[in-house]
Structures are given as structure tokens and as C-alpha cells.
Amino acid sequence: MTLGILGGGQLGRMTAFAALRMGLDVRFLVPEPADSVACFSGVTVADWTDPDVLRRFAEGCDAVSVESEWAPADLLAKAAPGVPVWPAPETLRLVRDKAAQRQRLAEAGMPQPVFRVCTTETAFRESAHALGLPVVVKRRRGSYDGYGNATVRQGTELSDAWQRLADPDGVLVEAFVPFEAELSVIVARRPDGETVVYPVFYTEQRDHRCHAVVVPSGFSSEIEAEAVRVALAAVEAVAGVGIVAVEMFALSDGRVLVNELAPRPHNTGHLTIEACDASQFENHARAVLGLPLGSTSLRTPAACMVNVLGTTSGPTRLVTLPEALAAPGVAVHLYGKAESRPRRKMGHVTVLGASPADARARAEDAASRLVL
């Protein structure tokens, strides 16, 4: 049984570890050499927009998935119509256009920030004032981790935001959400619609980038139940297959709002490798291949993941790895990236603990020891 993956970053790497463990074969198609999957033999480096390349790659795959919503799943589906591609190109089209994603979620009645899709600067200015400043302005496509987003606090900044962020089909503008905290619900869904859902994760961003994830989340059971209800409905609304991560805001009044979806394994789910019976990567592989889904139960009272971001530019040096490995009970994950850059995702650490506070303290300590 062979899983094809378009893309070669850390998500593909960790999916491959999980799939190989189960005895599945994995092959990658990447447009250029990719460090994180260089350890695997089944990597094709080629023009992944070329139908011949895609068809040859897909031949012999039981399913093809993507490592990023930007991979050319649509071209692959055209080039090799007999091979299942999950998530479906239509799901990817919806999710990677943040405006289309909002509209689809609105149609499905999902709670989310008030938003407008504006196709002219005039409409944009009017919408921003109608929503009330501050507003969050998002490029429709290609925005992630804070790139392609702007929080506009004054009317004088609107023109600049429009210039920077508007695509030919406009821009997404959202009411600023004064959230109390953020959370993530990760769902695995099979082509036949069967789903499993992971426990709710408390997530913490720093500088628009995932910093820490903790489980149990600490939210009330009412908020957790609502978050799971919304996540399952949101995944259904975009017909996600494989892992879909639903990032949400928790408000002080007990409501949760969908921030955004990621139609693939997600940074907020990395702790599932150690903390849950089946990791998000294992369930992604199972789901896209139509295999039975694995248990998402926690194996531990609590767990915390902390990201390890690059601090300097240059070849990655592991001189601080021994110090991190000396931290007790820590699972260190590094992604094999040969070059570090400030804020580049280089790895993460996960700690299982007796309580969220215990796991968090030890994970922060271990992550801080890794200077890459």
C-alpha cells in the first residue's frame, strides 16, 4: 500500500515516519530538494506542475495527499484521474482562499468573526469602518503565520493595507476578535465521512506563530464540547479528508469562533505523536488511504509541545542538542533542515506530564536549551 505526498517539509517527514511504521510505502514529489525528507529513498525531485511528472508519480500510489495546501493537488487530479487525491482539490481551493473559506463556513452557519470580502478599495474602506477599527486584513491567498495579514488600528493605515494585501479578486477584512485564548481541534476524516476527533488543545501564539500547545486545554467542558461540535461541522462544510485542524478563538462570553482551517496535519497537533494512541500523522495516512481510523485518546494526564524556531542564519549546528536531550522525559524532534533562519520552524519538543503546568514548564525548559 503506497501513500504519495506532494511536498517535502516536516509535515511530510512526520507523516512518513508514521506510515512507514505501519508497513506502508511512502513516496514524495517535490519541486526542489527538500532537507526534511532527504532521509527517505522515495523522493522524486521534478517539476510538479508537469502532467507527465504527476502521472508517473501517481502511478502505483493508492492515494496521494499534500503536505501543504499550496501543493498542486488539482493538477495531479487532472493528470492521474484514477488515483484518489485527498484532500480533494475543491477542499484545497476553498481553504487556501481565506475569503472563500469564510464564505463556506458562513453558509454552514459556523460561528466566526464578522467579515467582508471586498473587491475595491472603496468597498474595503467602507467595510473596515462599518466593522469598526481595529480590523484584521488578510490576503486571500498565501497568508500564513502572520505573513499576508495586518491589523489595522487607524483609518490612515487602510490604504497601505489595501496596497499590500489586495489580490485582483480583493481582500478579506474581519472584525478584530478580542479573544481570551486560542484553541485547536484536530479532526481526521475518511473519504466515507467517518471522523475521529482529538481532545481540544490549548494553543499559544507568539508573533503570529505557534509557540506552545497544551492538553488538557483548561477550557470548561461546555466550551470544549462547543469547539468539537463546531470543528466537526467546519470539516464537514469543506468536505475535508485526512487531518483538518480547526483553529479557534475562545471568547470571554464562552463562545468559540473559527479562526481558520488547515486541511492537513498541523503544528498544533504535533504532541499527538506522544500524547495520543494514534498521532495526527498516523491518522492522516489512515484516513487518506481509507484505512480504519486510530484512537485519538490521550495516553497521559497532560502534555505540552513547544516549538523550536531558528535564531540565526546559517548551517544548522546541533551543538545544543545534548543539552536538550539531557532535559528529563523530553521527546526532541528536529526536522533535518540543513539551514537555520531566524523564526524558521526547526523542530519541537514534547513532554508528557502529570499536569499541564508540569508538562509546560519542562517543555519550555527543554525548548529553550535548543539554540539553532
The site string for a second copy over 10-29 (x = CB under 8 A, - otherwise) reads: ------xx--xxxx-xx---
234, amino acid identity: A
Burial level of 153, CB count in 10 A (0-12/13-18/19+)? exposed
> Which residue's C-alpha cell is 495516553?
299
Residue pair 366/323 in contact by the 8 Å Cβ criterion: no
3-class SS at 17? helix
55-86 burial code (b ≥16 CB/10 A, e <16): bebbeebbbbbbbbbebbbebbbebbeebbbb
* Rounded CA separation 14/12 (Å): 6
Identity of the residue, 300 or 368, whose beta carbon is nearer to a second copy in the bound complex: 300
Identity of the residue, 28 or 124, whose beta carbon is nearer to a second copy in the bound complex: 28
Q: Find the binder of a second copy among 30, 43, 83, 171 (CB under 8 A).
A: 43
3-class SS at 75? helix
* Rounded CA separation 243/222 (Å): 24
Q: Do strands 181-189 and 339-340 pair parallel, antiparallel, or not at all (unpaired)?
A: unpaired
Cite the beta strand spans of 300-367 per DSSP E: 302-309, 314-315, 330-334, 339-340, 345-353
Identity of the residue, 33 or 142, whose beta carbon is nearer to a second copy in the bound complex: 33
* Rounded CA separation 296/134 (Å): 38
Q: Find the binder of a second copy among 159, 297, 313, 355 (CB under 8 A).
A: 297
162-200 burial code (b ≥16 CB/10 A, e <16): beebbeeebbbbbbbbebebbbbbbbbbbbeeebbbbbb
Considering the complex, what minimum distance in angstroms separates the CB of residue 353 from a second copy?
10
| Window contacting a second copy (CB under 8 A); options: 177-185, 187-195, 206-214, 271-279 | 271-279
Identity of the residue, 41 or 163, whose beta carbon is nearer to a second copy in the bound complex: 41
| Window contacting a second copy (CB under 8 A); options: 73-81, 142-150, 151-159, 293-301 | 293-301
Identity of the residue, 2 or 151, whose beta carbon is nearer to a second copy in the bound complex: 2
Q: Find the binder of a second copy among 9, 72, 294, 356 (CB under 8 A).
A: 294
Considering the complex, what minimum distance in angstroms separates the CB of residue 241 from a second copy?
17
Residue pair 184/201 in contact by the 8 Å Cβ criterion: yes
* Rounded CA separation 285/273 (Å): 13
361 binds a second copy (CB under 8 A): no
| Window contacting a second copy (CB under 8 A); options: 35-43, 46-54, 69-77, 218-226 | 35-43
Site for a second copy in 299-338 (CB under 8 A): 299-300, 318, 321-322, 325-326, 328-329, 331-336
Identity of the residue, 25 or 50, whose beta carbon is nearer to a second copy in the bound complex: 25
Considering the complex, what minimum distance in angstroms separates the CB of residue 7 from a second copy?
17
Joined together, the cell numbers standing for residue 53 give 511528472
Identity of the residue, 92 or 215, whose beta carbon is nearer to a second copy in the bound complex: 215
Site for a second copy in 338-357 (CB under 8 A): 347, 352
Considering the complex, what minimum distance in angstroms separates the CB of residue 46 from a second copy?
16
Residues forming contacts to a second copy in the complex (CB under 8 A) are 1, 16-17, 20-23, 25-26, 38-43, 274, 277-278, 286, 291-292, 294-295, 297, 299-300, 318, 321-322, 325-326, 328-329, 331-336, 347, 352
